[in-house]
Amino acid sequence: MYKYHCLNPISEVGLERLTEAYVPVSDAKTADAILVRSAGMHDMEFGENLKAIARAGAGVNNIPLEKCAEEGIVVFNTPGANANGVKELVIAGMLLASRDILGGINWVQENEEDGNIAKDAEKAKKAFAGCELEGKKLGVIGLGAIGVLVANAAMHLGMDVYGYDPYVSVESAWKLSRNIHHAKSVDELYKECDYITIHVPAMESTKGMIDSNAISLMKKDVVVLNFARNVLVDEEAMVDALISGKVKHYVTDFPTPIVAGVKGAIVIPHLGASTEESEDNCAKMAVKEMVDYLENGNITNSVNYPNCNMGKVGDNKRIVLLHHNVPNMIGQFTKVLARDNMNIADLVNKSKGGYAYTMIDIDSDVPETVAEDLRAIKDVLRVRVLN
Ligand SMILES: NC(=O)c1ccc[n+]([C@@H]2O[C@H](COP(=O)([O-])OP(=O)(O)OC[C@H]3O[C@@H](n4cnc5c(N)ncnc54)[C@H](O)[C@@H]3O)[C@@H](O)[C@H]2O)c1
Ligand SMILES: O=C(O)CC[C@@H](O)C(=O)O
């Protein structure tokens, strides 16, 4: 029996895939696994049973990844599962920034009682005119799951698209249209583009990436879109640029007291991934990853431990060990197993940064004393025996 806790509402389409072996609990401290969306987890104390956190979404800046790794808790996310939802809202954001659709709709609501509204609208509409996207230059910073979709869609709308991502994956590079210009530096993109959209994770290295210096390089009347995280943009600098008229619109999915209500800021209440399809996709993927880890020890799409897969647990017992990525760990594991005369049927070891994961299939029972001896090895963070 596994206990799970949902820190945010998770789509039923995902939860209904859990068998009767899974029970929801109201106290996160007692859970084997936590399902989460955007809830902040940095101040949480984790219970000793907690083995996995599955983020139904892409961004993991709400989760203390290093602390989890040290406590032997594997953190998963759902790469690409909500990318289409975000892409569509980014396109909507570009349209909202180009045509005064919001101003026009407000005008109609304010004049709803005007019996001559059809005729008056024809006079009023010139105040809400705008420009088209076709032929304009779009810069996309970050060519991952979302950035690639935005770049390709904008290209199909007739935009001239520049992409910047020094760490682009092979998978993304394959998906990216060959008509996208490869910006050699982010400064080149700032100088060239009429619209700039950012799709990078919030990390120490990306925080404040769009600051006053970046804005100073941009064209006058540029539109900046941020559907990634508020901390990527120096919001004080952005407000100054909106007030001075350097930036025409700042379209952001992240309301903060600094930008909400500022003229020129188009602020959306974090709706990028809030579609039925995205929520279902994320929940299904998060639940699948969580179940496969709890039951089989397989790790897929973890952000703090290496991916590692030995298929389903069969007739053999499986020992899974989370540990620091330091020399001689396998030697110490096999010594413990050899001492108890245990035969290894299969073994996989993978590492990611400072952490490593070892899966060992054993063709006999694994006494608790063996598990305890493995746990006692220095640099071992967690040991589980499955089946
Ligand atoms: N608004 C929403 O509801 C919503 C939904 C999903 C994701 N997001 C945010 O969008 C971010 C991106 O999502 P994704 O699914 O595309 O993630 P992803 O991991 O697929 O792509 C991120 C890309 O950013 C690139 N990158 C990293 N550092 C960079 C840098 N300094 N300069 C340029 N590129 C850099 C990476 O190489 C990667 O290709 C997430 O981390 C999350 O914060 C927001
Ligand atoms: O869960 C959400 O609603 C938003 C998720 C989004 O910000 C993400 O990073 O995937």
Q: Which ligand is nearest to the CA of 86?
A: 1
Q: How far is the CA of 208 from the centre of ligand 1 (A)?
A: 15
Q: What is the pTM of this model?
A: 0.96
**Averaged confidence pLDDT in the chain:** 98
| Mean pLDDT confidence for 16-43 | 98
d(CA 180, CA 341): 59
Find the DSSP H helices in the chain.
12-15, 65-70, 83-98, 101-110, 117-124, 145-156, 170-175, 186-192, 212-217, 235-244, 276-296, 329-339, 368-375
Contact 181, 207 (CB under 8 A): no
Ligand 2 atom at minimum distance from 60 CA:
9
Residues forming a β-bridge with 385 = 319
| Interval 146-158: pLDDT, tens | 999 999 999 999 9
Quick check: CB of 286 below 6 Å from ligand 2? no
The b/e string for 353-364 (b: 16+ C-beta within 10 A; e otherwise) is eebbbbbbbbee
Please calculate the CA angle 37-39-42 and round it to the nearest 5 degrees: 125
pLDDT digits (tens, 9 = 90+) for 275-330: 999 999 999 999 999 999 999 999 999 999 999 999 999 888 999 999 999 999 99
Rounded CA separation 160/326 (Å): 48
ipTM above threshold 0.90: yes
Residue 118 has what pLDDT?
98
Identify the pLDDT of residue 105.
98
Q: How confident is the model at residue 387 (pLDDT cuts 50, 70, 90)?
A: confident
Query: Residue with the nearest Cα to atom 9 of ligand 1?
Result: 228
Domains and CATH numbers, the chain: 1-82+273-305 (3.40.50.720), 83-98+131-267 (3.40.50.720), 306-387 (3.30.70.260)
Average pLDDT of span 231-259 = 98
Count the Cβ atoms, other than its own, within 10 Å of residue 127. 10
> Per-residue pLDDT tens for 67-79?
999 999 999 999 9
Tell which atom from ligand 2 comes closest to the C-alpha of 78.
10
> Does the CA dihedral 202-203-207-209 come out positive or negative?
negative
Are 211 and 237 in contact, with CB atoms under 8 Å apart?
A: yes
Tell me how far the alpha carbon of residue 86 lies from the centroid of ligand 2, in angstroms: 9
Q: Are 232 and 207 in contact (CB under 8 A)?
A: yes
Ligand (nearest to CA of 282): 2
SS (H, E, C) 206-249: CCCCECHHHHHHCCCCEEEEECCCHHHECHHHHHHHHHHCCEEE
Nearest-atom number in ligand 1 for the CA of 273 is: 3
Nearest listed ligand to the Cα of residue 139: 1
Distance 151 CA to ligand 1 centre (A): 13
For the stretch 100-159, pLDDT in tens is 999 999 999 999 999 999 999 999 999 999 999 999 999 999 999 999 999 999 999 999
Over range 355-365, report the average pLDDT: 96
CB proximity list for 56: less than 8 A, separation 6 or greater: 8, 10, 11, 14, 35, 36, 37, 78, 81, 279, 282, 283, 285, 286
DSSP-assigned letters across all residues of 333-354: HHHHHHHTTPPEEEEEEEEETT
Whole-number Å distance, alpha carbon 227 to ligand 1 midpoint, is 9
